[in-house]
Amino acid sequence: MDAKLSAEEKKRIETLFIAEPESRFTPWNTLKQEPGSPTLTHLKVWLDRQIWLSEYQIGQQVLAEMPDVKIQHFAAEAKTLDAARMMEVEPQKRLTLAVSLLKVQSNRVLDDLAEMFIKRMSIIHQKGKDALAKYHSRNQRRADELVQTLHDLVIAYRTEGSAQDKISAMEVLLADQADVILQRCEDHIAHAGDNYFVFLWRFYKSHRATLFRLLKHITVHTTTQDTTFIAALNFLLEHEHKHAEWLTAPKNPCLDFSWMSEVWRGLVIERCDHDESPKRLHRRYFELCVFSQLMRELKSGDLCIPGSNLYADYRDQLISWEEYNRDIVGYGEMIGLPTDGAAFVAHLQARLAEIAQKTDQAFPDNTDLRIEKGKPVLRRSVKAVTPAGLRKFEQLIADRLEPTHLLDVLRDTEHWLNWTRFFGPISGHDTKLDNPIPRYLTTTFCYGCQLRVQLTKRHKCPIGFLDYSLHEKDDKPSVKG
């Protein structure tokens, strides 16, 4: 590790352990912090964190030969040490721990940003749905009035007489309200079909600057051969500073909108008469559409974020074709499945047919499954009836068990199971404590005693016949069983 790092990189890493005068905290403390809830404020903070981490970026070749499991282990060990303890560590190990934690935290901050973005966009869409529901509730009376007006117009149209008489009857109904009725009809059509997209802007506009900033500071790649959406993302970034209502659609043939749903198309694209190509794009709806599609494609895996873990390119985790061809026969023999495509499909079809036949034969005796309107319905299993006398039997056992001190229970279980072996340092080295096992038992006992304030004088344990109690005389915790 020491040989792979340049002198400048080593110097930059060492600055992590130097306290900042204004805050008296070290950057090492900042590096170990966890993200907050996915609010807009925390999204801005975590964007700053990602930019700050990029200043400590270490070349990929430094950790290229180290297994990911080892990197995760070193990072976990580094998180347990404060800056002072890190400075006491041997220099080469300190570099290894610091570089591992920098890599893991850099990957995690990208994951956190993607998660926050997805959750913020999901919240925006949910607020849009709620706004649509409130709109329908608020305008139900107006919709009823429009239906009544339509009903009266149809009645007037069907009256006897000439065409002029029918038009006169309809004009009497409309009077001077024709423009108002038309506007109300257009408003109703705009929100028909559960189209809540028209409500999204009011909830999105406070996020606009932060989402554009996020898009500029993370790299997004497609995992498919379709690059049309990436072109739309680039077009959106080019017009970030535009505030006009409409954007002129480019003539670039690479920029098409085949990924856009029909509902979004009706809001975003304005076409010329008898022309299939878009003339203009509604800027606000275009931004909303692109960010909504970005959320969906990140969730589906069609887009990836290089350098992250959860949103990385899944193809990088696949084995090579050379490894596949070399090991597939042995793997098939181990799991008992054919490796040839046709044979594999035939095997699954035969297995499915066998299970289906067994299910059909067992159906008459299955009281929990029924068919309703051609669909199977599985009812919730009935809770088992408690046998008569079980509670009394449990109470007899609990009363006849001799109380045992909790420290004796801890000592005996440690002797049988050696569970204190998990209490050692995360580095895997032997602890520096004298007589570590008694200390671990004492620590466990004291931690349990902190919960005493939450216990009553007699707290039943839901598992088995354990019965925790506090003796009235010496107030020592004990356990029966």
Tens of pLDDT along 166-187? 788 887 877 777 777 777 777 7
Region at 467 (left for phi over 0; alpha for psi -120 to 50; beta for the rest): beta
Flag whether pLDDT at 478 surpasses 80: no
Q: Taking all residues of the chain, what is their mean pLDDT, rounded to a whole number?
A: 84
278 band by pLDDT with thresholds 50, 70 and 90: confident
Flag whether pLDDT at 5 surpasses 90: no
Q: What is the separation of C-alpha 132 from the centre of its chain, rounded to a whole number of angstroms? A: 25
What are the two backbone dihedrals, phi and then psi, of residue 94, each rounded to the nearest 5 degrees? -60, -40
N residues, the chain: 481
468 band by pLDDT with thresholds 50, 70 and 90: very low
Question: Is 383 or 417 the better-scoring residue by pLDDT?
Answer: 417
Note the pLDDT of residue 428: 65
CA distances from 286 to 132, 186, 462 (A): 20, 21, 56
Tens of pLDDT along 12-69? 899 999 988 777 889 999 899 888 888 999 999 999 999 999 888 777 778 878 888 9
Note the pLDDT of residue 116: 95
Flag whether pLDDT at 291 surpasses 90: yes
Note the pLDDT of residue 218: 92
pTM for the whole structure = 0.71
pLDDT above 70: percentage of residues in the chain: 89
Note the pLDDT of residue 454: 53
Segment holding 178, helix H or strand E: helix 178-190
Flag whether pLDDT at 462 surpasses 80: no
193 band by pLDDT with thresholds 50, 70 and 90: low
| CA nearest neighbour of 283 among 248, 251, 234 | 248
pLDDT above 90: percentage of residues in the chain: 41
CA–CA gap between residue 30 and residue 55 (Å, rounded): 14
| CA nearest neighbour of 169 among 184, 188, 156 | 156
DSSP result, 90-135:
-HHHHHHHHHHHHHHHHHHHHHHHHHHHHHHHHHHHHHHHHHHHHH
| CA nearest neighbour of 298 among 127, 60, 116, 48 | 116
Question: Is 318 or 461 the better-scoring residue by pLDDT?
Answer: 318
CA–CA gap between residue 166 and residue 328 (Å, rounded): 80
Tens of pLDDT along 91-142? 899 999 999 999 999 999 999 999 999 999 999 999 999 998 888 887 778 7
- Amino acid at residue number 163: A
- Amino acid at residue number 254: C
Judge contact between 119 and 43, C-beta under 8 A.
no
